[in-house]
Structure 1
Amino acid sequence: MQENHLAKWLNNDLTEAELAEFKKSAEYASYERIITASNQLEAPDFNAEEALIAIKNQRTLKDAKVVQLHPFKKFIRIAAAAAVIMFGSYFYLNNLDENIVTEYAENKEVVLPDNSKVQLNADSELSFSERKWSKERNVELKGEAFFKVAKGKRFTVATADGIVAVLGTQFNVENRPGFFEVTCFEGLVSVTFDGKETKLPAGASFIVIDGKITKTSASKMQQPSWVTNESTFKSVPLKFVLSEFERQHNVTVEIQDIDTEQLFTGTFSNTDTDVALKSISAPSQIKFKFEGSKVLFYGDKNP
């Protein structure tokens, strides 16, 4: 990389050829992430023009000799670029949140700073700030997770559909497109949905399907079934069952001539694809065709 590529990139002065060369460098990706993070952060007011004038004046006072302007401007650009990178790195590292992601057919266990444990289901994402944890025990969840919360101050789980708040308990939260469910297994859970708070004792669940609250009976389970590699449903539209099958088995699901709004009650294996297909198709009275990484569910007519 030419020594002035960084400064010219920051000033948007690179030619197309220089930009292409710069993007091939090992440092480019790091510079781009830091600049992106820096642009999203609030920083103290800083007048770059005044700072450059001050540096120039200071150098002039120290050195009375006449020097060429071009080399000095080049030095200033590189110094300014270095300052931006250092400044951006400081704020980037100090505001970086922890972000844990699972892929299809993958689970992860996460230990939070207070030793609370989180089991993250497939195709899910958990975010929190370790730096702010002592003041705010907050996490953000996309997908599904089972929480075993250490006793202490208020602990909250924020999702796109609602907020779950507890002190010390065990509960499961699932937040998928069109589906939101919170189940309390121990202690007491508070769920805020659409501005209204609902308290759940152990064994109770709060379910919202396509924006509507759905009543459900109490459960005697000690933990969600997916923790032991099974997915369990009770009167849930088939479309959510097929989506979960897709996540757990890392396959592409296609449908033909079936009613995905029909309610499904049952369990399928998260590890044995053949058994899972039969567990879904039999009670739903549908057929399936499994080829490679694709599954076609269809009705009476042959595909």
Structure 2
Amino acid sequence: MKKNRLLAKWLNNDLSEDELAEFKASADFEKYQKIKNYTEHLEIGDFDDNAMLSNILNQKKETPKEIPLYKNWIFRAAAIFVLALGITFLLKFFVPQTETASFGEKTTFSLPDNSEVVLNSGSEINYKKWNWDNNRRLELKGEAYFRVAKGRRFEVQTSLGKVSVLGTQFNVKARKNRFDVVCYEGRVKVNYANFQILLTHGQSVSFENGKQTKMKVHSLKPEWTENQICFYKENIRTLLDEVERQYNIKIELNTKDTVSLFTGKLPAKNLDIALQIISTTYHLEAKKVSKNKIIFDEK
């Protein structure tokens, strides 16, 4: 404290002779003398505090920006829209697409490469749009007719077997234990269990419980696409299942004869005629107990 007091008095030239002698004898005197000699040459202009205050008060103040509430709402709405658009894109291209045909209906749609598919009643197809041109693969439950655009290999996977093609027209049916494939144009490779068969124009193959049947086809497209249900050596229960799908009805069968096989056609748009053909073929009597239920009894 004494040292600091002496320094302050020395800077103001207020030291007595004894104090000055004491201060000069200190170890830091030489350093203090150099600092004093240097600062004596510095000049500081007069400080006008009033002018400084006036200058500050006259400066233009920037008004804080205010964003109206309606603009905030617009920003939020835009963000939600962009998010929804992104989710829609993901669902459209990455999530598997499903096409269905309910009982009593048929559905026609196009795949990303413009291949056309016609779904028969009670059928479903699943596929992915993403990278479709390089991976043309779909899963089928039921029956569908395909007109495939040319391109890479096209595959139809079912629970019973697989069909592979390039560009062609064909029909695939996988119901219960029955797997049918018909080639109407080009070539079709069929994989079923340990079998692999190549079909060409006008050929078809059927598998049921491991048994294979091949036959010629004379039509240009599946009869069901023209409202005709075609059967080849089908038992009555399988036949009635298809009638139920086409007409969206329930059929109860009361007969002991369930092994006789049916080959022929039934109309898909005239239930009365279809019931009459079945009744005559199997010696049955059809009764409509309600709008959507039929009972077949033995005569």
Q: Normalising by structure 1, what TM-score?
A: 0.67
Would you say the 8 A contact 2:93–2:129 is kept in 1? no
Q: Which residue of 1 aligns with 2:267?
A: 269
In structure 1, how many angstroms separate the alpha carbons of the residues matched to 2:286 and 2:156?
Answer: 38
In structure 1, how many angstroms separate the alpha carbons of the residues matched to 2:266 and 2:256?
Answer: 19
Q: Which residue of 2 aligns with 1:192?
A: 191
Would you say the 8 A contact 2:96–2:128 is kept in 1? yes
2:203 is the counterpart of 1:204: yes
Q: Which residue of 1 aligns with 2:135?
A: 136
Q: Which residue of 2 aligns with 1:115?
A: 114
Percent of residue pairs bearing the same amino acid type: 35
Matches within 5 A, 1:1-303: 95-209=94-208, 211-292=209-290, 293-300=292-299
Would you say the 8 A contact 2:190–2:197 is kept in 1? yes
Residue type at the aligned position of 2:178? F
Would you say the 8 A contact 1:169–1:188 is kept in 2? yes
Structure 1 residue ranges without an equivalent (≥5): 1-84
In structure 2, how many angstroms separate the alpha carbons of the residues matched to 1:93 and 1:221?
Answer: 37
Residue type at the aligned position of 2:117? V
In structure 1, how many angstroms separate the alpha carbons of the residues matched to 2:255 and 2:169?
Answer: 40
Would you say the 8 A contact 1:258–1:286 is kept in 2? no
Would you say the 8 A contact 1:144–1:175 is kept in 2? yes
In structure 2, how many angstroms separate the alpha carbons of the residues matched to 1:229 and 1:92?
Answer: 34
In structure 2, how many angstroms separate the alpha carbons of the residues matched to 1:285 and 1:205?
Answer: 31
Structure 2 residue ranges without an equivalent (≥5): 1-82
In structure 1, how many angstroms separate the alpha carbons of the residues matched to 2:134 and 2:267?
Answer: 40
Would you say the 8 A contact 2:93–2:128 is kept in 1? no
Q: Secondary structure at the match of 2:215?
A: coil
In structure 2, how many angstroms separate the alpha carbons of the residues matched to 1:175 and 1:105?
Answer: 18
Deviations 1:40-64 (A, max 9, x none): xxxxxxxxxxxxxxxxxxxxxxxxx
In structure 2, how many angstroms separate the alpha carbons of the residues matched to 1:94 and 1:170?
Answer: 26
Q: Secondary structure at the match of 1:282?
A: helix
Gap change, CA 1:94 and 1:153, over 3 Å in 2: closer
Would you say the 8 A contact 1:156–1:166 is kept in 2? yes
How far is the alpha carbon of 1:219 from its aligned partner? 1.4
Would you say the 8 A contact 1:266–1:279 is kept in 2? no
Q: Which runs of 4+ in 1 moved over 4 A?
A: 88-94
How far is the alpha carbon of 1:93 from its aligned partner? 6.1
Would you say the 8 A contact 2:107–2:118 is kept in 1? yes
How far is the alpha carbon of 1:234 from its aligned partner? 1.6
Q: Which residue of 2 aligns with 1:76?
A: none
In structure 1, how many angstroms separate the alpha carbons of the residues matched to 2:254 and 2:235?
Answer: 16
In structure 1, how many angstroms separate the alpha carbons of the residues matched to 2:129 and 2:98?
Answer: 10
How far is the alpha carbon of 1:278 from its aligned partner? 0.9
RMSD: 2.0
Residue type at the aligned position of 1:169? T
In structure 2, how many angstroms separate the alpha carbons of the residues matched to 1:213 and 1:221?
Answer: 24
How far is the alpha carbon of 1:213 from its aligned partner? 2.3
Q: Secondary structure at the match of 1:134?
A: helix
Residue type at the aligned position of 1:287? E
Q: Secondary structure at the match of 1:217?
A: strand
Structure of higher CA gyration radius: 2
In structure 2, how many angstroms separate the alpha carbons of the residues matched to 1:117 and 1:91?
Answer: 24
Q: Which residue of 2 aligns with 1:39?
A: none
In structure 1, how many angstroms separate the alpha carbons of the residues matched to 2:101 and 2:297?
Answer: 30
In structure 1, how many angstroms separate the alpha carbons of the residues matched to 2:171 and 2:91?
Answer: 32
Residue type at the aligned position of 1:254? E
In structure 2, how many angstroms separate the alpha carbons of the residues matched to 1:94 and 1:233?
Answer: 38
